[in-house]
Each structure stands twice: as structure tokens, then as C-alpha cells.
Amino acid sequence: MTGLHVAIIMDGNGRWARSQGKPRWRGHVEGVESVRRIVRAAPDLGVSVLTLYAFSADNWKRPRMEVGRLFWLLKRYCVSERNELISRGVRVTAIGRRDRIPTPALHALQQLERETASGTKLHLRLAIDYSARAEVARATRELGQRVRAGELAPEQMTEELLTQAVTGGVPMPDLLIRTAGERRLSDFLLWELAYTELYFAQTHWPDFRRDDLATALADFRARERRFGGIVEEEEREWAVGA
């Protein structure tokens, strides 16, 4: 897969609902519709990996009823989207902790992961009970265990190995989108975002459409990524000894 990796912090479901005089959970229901639309649109727009922040490790602080709704919606999504995801060649995997996900949602998720495993058009990664700091800690623990087992010397614990342990080999995101106006990362992909382009949209997630994704991607494509270097023309200038 050679397309872009786009990560999205899907924010603003609650505010969308409030602005319509509806309860917060209605915003989450509409948010799932946005997920459907964006997953459909992504491959056509040149995206091959899509990482969606669906539930953060800090979202457990929300009322039990809201958390319950969110996992119920996750389960329903996994069941109802199965056929479409398979026919569209979407492979679904989850990142984050699994031991606290309510059993019905966990089973539906695991089944979806198994059944979509051969998809090659789009890799859809759902971040659930996810914390970037916890992921870095987990990866460090895993490497530490390999050191203790004598498989790895501490000097061999390089940035590349840690990256591999954190990401499982998935390329770094090219673009991070956060909807609903907030300009923070809320513990999402901290290690992976080192050189990711950031894009903040005012639109609440339930109102986010294919065109909004296209606009974000056009903005991204007009940017100049330098990764600490300088642009090519300037490099040429140095080459001729100017």
C-alpha cells in the first residue's frame, strides 16, 4: 500500500448534539455515520491507512451510561459494517488496551479483525481504550523483557526498535486531523506524530463529510515537508557553491 496514512481525532459529537438540542448520545450515533462515510471515501482520496481515535483511555472518566453507549455503538458498527468492509477490501485492526473493553464489543471487534484480515485497499485502525503514553510504556516493557531474557543488549535498544514495538511496523501518519476546533492531541499517537502535518477543522465530527476530508488532503498536499532538511532548490544553490 502506497497511499497516505491519515489519523483523525473525531471530536465534537457532544457539542453537535447540544447545538441541535439533542442528548449527547445522538451525537455519537451520527458520529458513526461519519465514520462510515469517511471509510468509504478514504481509498478514492489516496488514503491507504486510516487511524481513528474512537475512545481514549481517559474517556473512562465519562458517565457510565455514555461509556456504555459508546461500546454498544462499537459493537453494532462491527456487526453491521462487516459485509461492506469485506467487499471494499478494508482490513480492520484495533490499537489500545483490550482487557477493559466490555466483552460483547470485544468479541465483535475480534471477529471483525479476523474476517477482514485479507483486505488490501484500506487499513482501518481503530484506537480504542487508547493512550499514547501507555503504548510507549508497553513497548518499553516488551523490550525490557527481551533484555532480561538475554535476547537484546541494552545498547541495542534503539529508536528503530522502539518505533517497531510502538507501531508494529505501520508507517507514521502523514496527516493528523482534529475536528471541532480543539488544538490538542489528547494523548493520541505521541511518538508517531513527530513529523506529521497537523490540520484542525472547526467542523464537528458528525458534520464531517468526504469534501472536508478532500479539503484537508488538498491543504496537506500543498505543504512542504522538510523533515529537518532544506528544500531542493536551496540544496542546488549550495551544490554550485553560491
* Residue list 141-200, contact with ligand IPE (CB under 6 A): 180, 182, 184, 186
Taking CB under 6 A as the binding criterion, the range among 5-13, 94-102, 148-156, 227-235 that sits at the site for ligand IPE is: 5-13
Shortest CA distance to 174 belongs to which of 58, 15, 42, 68?
Answer: 42
Residue 48 binds which of ligand IPE, Mg ion, none (CB < 5-8 A, kind-dependent): none
**Cβ closest to ligand IPE, residue 139 vs residue 206:** 206
Give the count of alpha carbons within 13 A of 128, CB side only.
21
Q: Is 11 considered catalytic here? A: yes
In terms of CB distance, is 162 or 193 closer to ligand IPE?
193
Closest contact distance (angstroms) between CB of 188 and Mg ion is 12
Q: Based on the residue annotation, tell me whether 59 is a catalytic residue of this protein.
A: yes
Q: Which does 13 bind (CB under 5 to 8 A by kind): Mg ion, ligand IPE, none?
A: ligand IPE
* DSSP-derived secondary structure for the chain: --SEEEEEE---HHHHHHHTT--HHHHHHHHHHHHHHHHHHTGGGTEEEEEEEEEEGGGGGS-HHHHHHHHHHHHHHHHHSHHHHHHTTEEEEEES--TTS-HHHHHHHHHHHHHTTT--SEEEEEEEEE-HHHHHHHHHHHHHHHHHTTSS-GGG--HHHHHHHHHTTPPPPSEEEE-TT----TTSSTTTTTT-EEEE--S-GGG--HHHHHHHHHHHHTS---TTS--HHHHHHHHTT-
Q: Is residue 11 part of the contact set for Mg ion (CB under 5 A)?
A: yes
Q: Which of residues 35-74 bind ligand IPE (CB under 6 A)?
A: 53-56, 59, 70
Q: Which does 186 bind (CB under 5 to 8 A by kind): Mg ion, ligand IPE, none?
A: ligand IPE
Minimal distance, residue 64 CB to ligand IPE, in Å: 14
Size of the site for ligand IPE (CB under 6 A): 17
- By CB under 6 A, which span of 7-15, 87-95, 157-165, 215-223 interacts with ligand IPE? 7-15
Provide the annotated active-site residues.
11, 59
Binding interface with ligand IPE (CB under 6 A): 9-15, 53-56, 59, 70, 180, 182, 184, 186
